[in-house]
Structure 1
Amino acid sequence: MSSAGDLAKKRAFLLGCALLCATALPPARAQTAPRTIPLLLGDALDAKGKQKPMLAWRRKLFDQLEQELGVTFDIKVYPWPRAERNAREGAGLIFGLPKTPERERALRYSDAAASNTLWLVTRSDATFPFQRLYDLRGKTVGAVRGYSYGDEFERQRNRLFRVDEDIASRASRLQRLLLKRVDAVLLYQPSWETAPEIEANIRGFIAPYARELGIPPAVSLSVLPHPVQVENGQHFAIAPGQDDGLIERINAALARLRKTVATR
C-alpha cells in the first residue's frame, strides 16, 4: 500500500507530465474574423420610395469579391449625393459612381468591374430621331437627382436641353414620362442587354401604372435604338487616404475572376 507521501509525489509527477505535454503542443491557430469594409451604394427605389432588392449580378459580384479578398462588405445605401460625399470624406469604398476628371482627383478608382449602357426611353407615340446629344435640343430629359451622366452631358445640362431630376425610382420617372412631364428618361442597363430586350421588360413593368394613370391602351414606352453612351465602366473607388492597397487587391481579384470566366 502506498504511503500518503508516495501518493502525493505520484499526483505531482502526473500533473507535471500533463503540463509538459500541454506546453509541447503547438498553440491553437487563432480564428481571425474577415476584415469588414463599408461599401457605399446609391439608392434604387420602388414606386413607394422603398429600397429595391439588389440586382442579382451585383450581389454575385460582391459575393465573389468577398471570397477573393477575404473580407466582408458592410453595405450602406444612400442617395447618390450623400454616398459620394461620404466616400470623399473617407467613410468607405463606393461602387457605381461614374468617373469624371474632378472625381478622379478626389478618389482612387479601380479597374472596371462591370459595364452598362445609357439609353433614352420615350412614350411610344412620341419617339424622335436620336444620334447625338444635339438631338435633345429643347427637350426635357428625366434623370436621377445627384447623378452624373458624363462630361459632355453635364456641359449641355440645362443649356441645350432641360433636365428634370427625380428620386432614384424607375417607376416614378417612367410615370412622369407617361404623363408627358418629360420628353425622355435616361436609363442605365447592363451592357449585355439589347434595346429590344430592355423595351420588352419596361413595357411589362410599366403596364400596371399606365392602367392606373388612364393612359390609352395603345400607348406604351419605347427605347430609342441609338444609346447615349456605351460601355460605361462601373468601378469601385475610395478616398486616397483610406486606400491601404485595397484598390490594387480589387484589381487583382477582378483579373482573376475575368480569367476564370474566360476559361470556362
Structure 2
Amino acid sequence: MTSQAIGYMDSGVGGLTVVKEALRQLPYESVCFIGDQARLPYGPRPAEQVREFSEQLGQFLTAKNIKMFVIACNTATSAALEYLQKTLPIPVIGVISPGSRAAIKATKNHRIGVIATEGTIKSNAYEKAILSKDLQNKVFSLACPKFVPIVESNEYKTKIAKQIVDESMAYFKGTDIDTLILGCTHYPLLKPFIQEAVGPDVKLIDSGAETVSSVSLLLDYFNLANESSHKELPDRYFSTGSADRFKLIAGNWLEMDDLNVTHVPVESLSLK
C-alpha cells in the first residue's frame, strides 16, 4: 500500500508547482499527475462543470492505483473538494485550506490579498476559509484571468507577462496588504513579477507549496508514507492536451528532460 503513487490533478501545468514542492519535500513518494489542458481554463467555467471534470480526473487517477488524491487546482478545490472527499475511496486534499492557514500565520496587520481565477474568487472560498479562522482579517480578492493563459503558452518570463502582472497588481495599491495568497497553482511561475509589483514587504503565500506540507502530515496520519528509502514506482505524467507541449513546459519548470508524459483523450474520461 505505501509504495503507491500520490495522484495530482490540475486544469493544466499549474499543478506542477505543487509537484515540484512534493519532489523536494517527499523525495521517496511517486507522482502520478494529470493536467486537463484540452479543457482549460477552469476559472470561467460553471462550478458544476468543474466538479464533473474533477471527478473524471479523480476516477482516472484512482484507476492507476494511487493512495491519495491532491486537487492541485484552486478552482477545482472550491468546486469539488467536499464532493470528492465523500465519493472517492482514498484521502482527498485541496489547496485552499493550507494556503489560508499559512496566510493567517504570516500576516501582521490582518490585511490579506488573494489573487485567483474567476471561479475561485466567485466562490469566496479563500475569504470564507480565512474569516472562519480569524474575523480580525480583511480580505482583498482579485480575479486574474489573464495569468493562466500566459503560463500555459510558456510566456511567463516575457515582457508581456510582466506588463499584465503590473497592470493587475495595481489593484492592491492603497490596500496596505502585507500578505498575498497566490490562489492558483499557475501563479507561482509568475512569482518574480508578482513580488516586484507588490513590493518586497508583501509576503507571498504559495498555496500549492503549503499543501504539500499537509500531504506529508496526512501520509503519516493514514499510515500511507512510503517506507522505502527510494521510489518504488516511476513518476508518470498525463495530459489531455499535447504531450509534447506539456513535456516542454513541465521539463523547464521541474528542471527535468526525461519526463514520462502520455496523452489521454478527453473522450476516454467519461464517468463510469
User: Which structure has the highest helix share of the two?
Assistant: 2
Same topology, TM > 0.5: no
Q: Which one has a bigger Cα radius of gyration?
A: 1
TM-score, normalised by the number of residues in structure 1: 0.37
User: Which structure has the highest strand share of the two?
Assistant: 1
